[in-house]
């Protein structure tokens, strides 16, 4: 199957699974379940769950990776809802639609984020509990990723740095933890479910780190070069103004070179992984080619 066809097939499986695994809107109290589903249905790229499914696919095994894929998308969606809140980014739009606190209200948005974060771990415990070692590894991996040294830590540094130029070291810390951490985690979780060895898990993590860093730099390049997107962000979010980005520190040319080098390293790592890595190679190229 062609890369894009495979990507669309994975994305469509994820869309159906969101409906299958999340509590229905009518579940009492319906407002919280409406808010959870509103953000989960808002249709991002589904990059993270696709990575879980693709990594698992390399190793085979009988376990279903979809509950873990929905768990990471649920956790990612929580982070976006909370990131958009008036006390953090104060954004009006997310994925082209009103943010959760605009569509509902602030209290509901806080609770919907909390509920999606919690639900991620509920999914893991429910669906992998019969394989206790795998379940414990998945929970530890996701908890470490979401915690104060990674996702939250990256967000904290980002907030602390607002309004002042950031050093390269701080910007790298933010990228590595706000963006790369969950991407790495998705590959690792897919590997754990497929039965990868420790050495293979390390390779998956390295691949995730490379595409995660490239992904963030490419986001910065797109923000810097797309008038439309920049206008959308300045309307939608206070915190995007005057932010230190990779492009501001290094310029467009060097940023493009760096994103390309990270992508090439990710592709090199694929050649050291088992199974058919064509999709992961295609994905690394696809993320870089968002630039063209």
Based on the shown chain and the rule CB under 6 A, indicate whether residue 8 belongs to the binding site for ligand GRG. Answer: no
The pair of three-digit structure tokens given for residue 170, joined into one six-digit string: 């701080």
> Binder to ligand GRG among 50, 151, 204, 284 (CB under 6 A)?
151
Instruction: Give the residue at shortest CB distance from ligand GRG.
Output: 44
- Nearer CB in complex with ligand GRG: 50/203: 50
**Least Å from the CB of residue 155 to ligand GRG:** 4
Binding residues among 89-108 for ligand GRG as defined by CB under 6 A: 95
Please state the closest distance from residue 17 (CB atom) to ligand GRG, in A.
15
Name which of 141, 203, 151, 147 is nearest 173 in CA terms: 151
Q: What angle do CA 249, 250, 251 make, to 5 degrees?
A: 110
245 binds ligand GRG (CB under 6 A): no
Report the residue number, 59 or 83, with the smaller CB distance to ligand GRG.
Answer: 83
Cα distances from 107 to residues 21, 30, 114, 206, 247, in angstroms, run 24, 15, 11, 38, 36
Binding status of residue 288 toward ligand GRG by CB under 6 A:
no
Q: Which residues pair with 94 in a beta bridge?
A: 97
Binder among 110, 125, 143, 152 for ligand GRG (CB under 6 A):
152
Smallest Cα–Cα separation from 52: which of 206, 185, 250, 226? 185
Residue 179 interacting with ligand GRG (CB under 6 A): yes
Closest by Cα among 65, 15, 58 to 270: 58
Q: Which of residues 68-87 bind ligand GRG (CB under 6 A)?
A: 79-80, 82-83
Assess contact for 128 and 67: CB atoms under 8 A. Answer: yes
What mask of x and - would describe binding to ligand GRG in positions 154 to 173, judged by CB under 6 A?
Answer: xx------------------
**Least distance in angstroms from the C-beta of 84 to ligand GRG:** 8
Binding characters for ligand GRG, 107-146, by CB under 6 A (x = yes):
----------------------------------------
For 85-100, b/e burial (b = at least 16 CB within 10 A) is: beeebebeebeeebbb
- What is the C-alpha separation between 281 and 152, in angstroms, rounded? 29
User: Which token pair is 254?
Assistant: 């060097």
Total residues interacting with ligand GRG, rule: CB under 6 A: 16
Residues that bind ligand GRG (CB under 6 A): 44-45, 47, 79-80, 82-83, 88, 95, 151-152, 154-155, 178-179, 219
């Amino acid at each position: 199957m062609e890369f894009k066809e495979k990507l669309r097939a994975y994305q469509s499986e994820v869309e159906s699974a969101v409906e299958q695994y999340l509590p229905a809107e009518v579940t009492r109290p319906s407002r919280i379940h409406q808010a959870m589903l509103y953000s989960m249905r808002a249709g991002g790229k589904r990059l993270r769950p696709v990575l879980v499914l693709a990594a698992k696919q390399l190793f085979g095994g009988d376990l279903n990776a979809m509950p873990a894929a929905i768990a990471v998308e649920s956790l990612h969606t929580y982070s976006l809802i909370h990131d958009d809140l008036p006390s953090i980014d104060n954004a009006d739009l997310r994925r082209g639609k009103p943010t959760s606190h605009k569509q509902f209200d602030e209290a509901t948005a806080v609770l919907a984020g909390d509920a999606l974060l919690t639900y991620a771990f509920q999914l893991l415990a429910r669906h992998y509990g019969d394989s206790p070692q795998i379940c414990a590894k998945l929970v530890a991996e996701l908890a470490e990723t979401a915690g104060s040294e990674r996702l939250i830590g990256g967000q904290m540094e980002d907030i602390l740095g607002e309004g002042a130029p950031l050093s390269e070291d701080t910007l790298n810390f933010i990228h590595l933890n706000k963006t790369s951490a969950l991407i790495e985690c998705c590959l690792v979780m897919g590997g754990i479910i497929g039965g990868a060895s420790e050495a293979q898990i390390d390779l998956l993590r390295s691949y995730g780190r490379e595409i995660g860093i490239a992904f963030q730099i490419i986001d910065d390049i797109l923000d810097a070069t797309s008038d439309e997107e920049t206008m959308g962000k300045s309307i939608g979010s206070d915190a995007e103004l005057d932010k230190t980005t990779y492009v501001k520190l290094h310029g467009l040319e060097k940023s493009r070179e760096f994103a390309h080098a990270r992508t090439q390293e990710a592709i090199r790592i694929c050649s050291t992984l088992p199974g058919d890595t064509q999709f992961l190679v295609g994905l690394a190229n696809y993320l870089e080619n968002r630039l063209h």
